[in-house]
Amino acid sequence: MKPILNIAAYQFVSLSALEDLRADMRDALNTRQLKGTILLAEEGINLFLAGTEPMIRDFLVWLRSDPRFAPIEVKESWSDEQPFGKALVKIKNEIIRMNHPTIRPETGRAHFIAPEKLAQWLDRGTDDLGRPVVMIDTRNQFEVDYGTFKNALHFNIHKFSEFPEAIKAHQAELADKTLVSFCTGGIRCEKSGLYMREIGMEHSYQLEGGILKYFEDVGSAHYEGTCFVFDEREALKPSLESIGIEQSIRKKANAA
């Protein structure tokens, strides 16, 4: 087992007294020698952390002792080295910026599909009712360049706030399809899925847990390449191992 446990998690829940919460989070990280980033907003929490397994597990016990965070679900992966340089706790207007304040996942989630069920749909090319399935990549273009689902539709966007207009421009051509939106860990799809339903794309779902959960439960089936992550590991293979320094250097050289 590799020595460093990496976790990614988010939860949409109403938060207040954010400055006090930030101070508590900083203390919790520092006392356990954990590194990474926690984002706090009135709409919830988003975190990417790494450290030794005992300290990560202890932090999660502490976090879930707050009833607001008790249901939080975590995606895990392992690495040989600490991928973060410091511990940061930031206050933001949104934990994932979309600029659509009416989209509030806390009040009700979009329809979602589990990774194993999605794999069954992709094996057939249709959902359980025989409708063609189209994968919708909600990530930025540079992330898509690392890897994505085979034949997935993406929009060459540079920030998530561009997604609403991008998907709306394709609404008519996708009307007779079953749509499954996906992102790295699921947080962007919590909003994209609700937005798609809001504009009338009723046959739309979000991939539960994002690409990382799909890798964990299914592996590489129907996926090509790696998944970019926002830390020094750069990208993860479907085995949830990092692409490695040498491959990272080659990729950057080829892109230059």
User: Does the annotation count 183 as an active-site position?
Assistant: yes
What is the 8-class DSSP label of residue 2? -
Closest of 129, 94, 111, 95 to residue 195, by C-alpha: 111
Burial of 22 (0-12, 13-18, 19+ CB in 10 A): middle
- As a dihedral over the C-alpha atoms of residue 19, residue 23, residue 28, residue 30, rounded to 10 degrees, the angle is 130
First to last CA, the chain: 35
* Set 13, 15, 63, 183: catalytic member: 183
Beta bridge partners of 59: none
Neighbours of 13 (CB within 10 A): 18
Residue 14 CA to residue 66 CA, distance in Å, equals 13
Distances from the Cα of 237 to the Cα of 17, 79, 136, 220, 244, angstroms: 39, 12, 20, 8, 10
Contact 195, 219 (CB under 8 A): no
Q: Which DSSP string do the residues of 97-111 spell out, in sequence order?
A: --S-TT--GGG-PPP
Instruction: Sort strands 235-236 and 44-52 into parallel, antiparallel or unpaired.
Output: unpaired
Residue 155 CA to residue 80 CA, distance in Å, equals 35
Residues marked as catalytic? 183
